[in-house]
Amino acid sequence: MSTSTPLAPPTGAPSSLRAGLRHPVALTRWFSRAYLTPGEPGRPTTQQELRWIYSAWLLAFALKMVGSSWDVSWHFRWLRDDLAPPHLLNSAGTALVVALVLFSSYTGRGVDRRALRLMQAGIGTFLVAIPVDLVNHRVNGLDITSWSPSHALLYLGTAIMLAGALRGWWLYAAPGRVRALVSLGLWLFFVENVLFPNQHQEYGVLSLADHRAGRTTAEPQLLDFAASQGQSPEQFMLPVPSWVHPAWLVCAGLLALVVARRTVGLRWTATAVAGTYLAYRAVSWVLLTSTGFPPSVLPVMLLAGAVLVDLAVTARVPGWLAALPV
């Protein structure tokens, strides 16, 4: 297990990041000598090193979140394209996650065995899901529903790797404000991943209304292609029953917020995570609609549920009783 005791900086370390970037070859050599050495999970890691490692995790999932959010809107406007900008942005985040898992697997820094295994299992599941999803699209055509089995594998892999990152950070970071803030960031990405399938209905209900009113934002080739596959606009835009959205929001979304609240321990953890998620969705809504992409419904009821979660946990209300208002 790591300690917070500072370690002496390796010989030849650059005086600053800017100085290191001016000499990238020397920086790479120094980094390899200092940090790319084999070790077992639980290897001593300073708090500064932990912050660098898990800041990279936050960056990776920020790229993935922005890319995936843009991807949903993209699919309601244009035909699917493997090299579409949202896919490339998401792929950049995935590549960074792969690099981080390889780094911790080789060096043992910032993780214990269980956290590392979760990270490895998560990224492994995610990488297996990618070719499965590509084959699914080749066989079944458009199939943009967020609820397909191949997409479910992507969500599952993301959730598992995030569970590993949450464990590794919480286990080794020193108690305090930084540990709480990074944990809140990781839980934000976890909740976003859990609620991601619901975005299909949140876009679909408005896109279908626009289509019926004759002002659809979808390109004609997208609707023609869907029709050629025997899909009506209703099947294309709302492929699952209407009860799925609220059921998933309550059963999965609020459950994730309950776990976040009990893990982090701050009084308004669930409210902060839900509020930040909705603020992100609102900013995304403005940016996307201002550039011609379709709008979506914001699940504002999540915030009310989050407040109830925080109040119930703080008051130590029994679970069966706390579930009644929901």
| Per-residue confidence (pLDDT) for residue 133, from 0 to 100 | 78
| Per-residue confidence (pLDDT) for residue 1, from 0 to 100 | 44
Strand-pair partners of 43: 109
Q: How far is CA 135 from the centre of its chain?
A: 23
Residue 107 and residue 155: Cα distance in Å, rounded?
A: 27
**What is the per-residue DSSP string for 126-174?**
HHHHHHHHHHHHHHHSS---TTSHHHHHHHHHHHHHHHHHHHHHHHHSP
Q: Which amino acid is at 149?
A: P
Q: In 3-state terms, what secondary structure has residue 109?
A: strand
| Per-residue confidence (pLDDT) for residue 213, from 0 to 100 | 75
Per-residue confidence in pLDDT tens, the chain, 326 aa? 444 444 444 445 666 667 777 778 887 887 787 778 888 999 998 898 899 999 999 999 999 999 999 988 887 776 666 677 888 999 999 999 999 999 999 999 999 999 999 999 999 999 999 888 777 766 665 555 678 888 899 999 999 999 999 999 999 999 999 999 999 999 999 999 999 999 989 988 887 787 777 777 666 666 666 666 556 666 667 778 889 999 999 999 999 999 999 999 999 999 999 999 999 999 999 999 898 888 899 999 999 999 999 999 998 776 645 555 55
Closest to 46 in 3D by CA, of 103, 4, 88: 4
| Per-residue confidence (pLDDT) for residue 241, from 0 to 100 | 87
